[in-house]
Amino acid sequence: MLVTGVARYLGARFARLLAQEPGVDRVVGVDVIAPPYDIGAAEFVRADIRNSMIGRIIEQTGVDTVVHMSVIATPVSAGGRTAQKEINVIGTMQLLAACQRATRLRRLVVKSTSAVYGSSPRDPAMFTETLVGKHPPRTGWGKDSAEVEEYVRGFSRRRPEVEVVTLRPANIVGPGIRTSMTDYFSLPVIPGVLGFDPRLQFLHEDDALEAIRRATLGDAQGVINVAGDGVIGLGQAAGFAGRPTVGLPPRLAGLMGSVYHRGGLADFSPDQVRYLRFGRCLDTTRMREQLGLEPAYTTREAFLDFVRTRGLRGPLSPEVVNAVERKVVNWLRPPGSARATRTAEAQPRPPFPDTP
């Protein structure tokens, strides 16, 4: 099996986990730089998927399964927007061309994103895999992923005997992964769009890896949404992270994204700003039916685990707010009130007197 994008956190973790699977004889990890993370028993081959060399690697290793995890979400990690688009789109084209010539290939798994749906006030409450967003992404990672999926569909038509799975995960969070959303909720003040509190869905990194594992080793095919159960609002998520929020007029929201991007604080495209305005939620029926996956973390639990493991604690953290609330309530109680009663109840009671 061949896994692309192993120099990044999620790709490295998946290559390591896949190499531990019984029945998997060989895992080859590919990327342009050596992975800074442990990939376990997986072999590493330095290669650029934008180069035709990837075809020779697939041919020489004789892999029957390719897992494409090399679609980069943030231009900062790619070295700029131009490099990001080249890796995402041109790299995928070269990889699929190599897969087209690979006679032993039997399965292709592509990690895409739910950002391909875009965000709009006219969108359905829950996106199924067959729906198309009213405002598809026009820039950044979402647009690249939409193009990638189009090339994957073309490949599937040319090689109908190859089983193809395209996963569309919600925003992935967890102890180790870093994305534009994890950077966003790590800011000291969370900017939002005035008058909007979008519904958000999250997927824990462990559940994301399990979904990719099942897609790789199972028999599912087609496009599959992947997300944790439930939704939380943007304001609620900011409260969990202990961060105050500030609402900006819609016309200034785009400027906010540009300022944060140029300052290196967080990476936001105009489509991501729209997401922070209108939100997006996924129907996960196919996830359960095709992958047989019941996520271990709900949306709320995944986000709370991210907050806990990252040590996000601010003046509005739930534990801080609760402690202040208890102090204020106790201070406002008059003497002899429930506070005094509780104090008295805490004292040891004398034994009951003997009755005649």
Q: Where are the domains of the chain?
A: 2-177+199-229+281-299
Query: Would you state the pLDDT for residue 211?
Result: 98
- The pTM for the full model equals 0.85
CA dist., res. 339 & res. 175, Å (int): 40
For residue 93 the two structure tokens come to 């084209």
Say if strands 43-46 and 222-226 run parallel, antiparallel, or are unpaired.
unpaired
For residue 291 the two structure tokens come to 């992958």
> How many secondary structure helices (H) and strands (E) does the chain include?
15, 13
CATH number for 2-177+199-229+281-299: choose from 3.30.360.10, 3.40.190.10, 3.40.50.720, 3.40.50.300.
Answer: 3.40.50.720
List per-residue pLDDT tens for the chain, 356 residues long.
999 999 999 999 999 999 999 999 999 999 999 999 999 999 999 999 998 899 999 999 999 999 999 988 766 665 667 778 888 999 999 999 999 999 999 999 999 999 999 999 999 999 999 999 999 998 878 899 999 999 999 999 999 999 999 999 999 999 999 988 998 999 888 988 899 999 999 999 999 999 999 999 999 999 999 999 999 999 999 999 999 999 888 777 767 666 666 655 566 678 888 899 999 999 999 999 999 999 999 999 999 999 999 998 855 555 555 555 565 666 676 665 554 444 444 444 444 344 33
Name the residue type at position 162.
V
CA dist., res. 170 & res. 200, Å (int): 9
CA dist., res. 117 & res. 143, Å (int): 10
CA dist., res. 199 & res. 235, Å (int): 9
69: alpha, beta or left? (left if phi > 0; alpha if psi -120 to 50): alpha
Query: Would you state the pLDDT for residue 172?
Result: 97
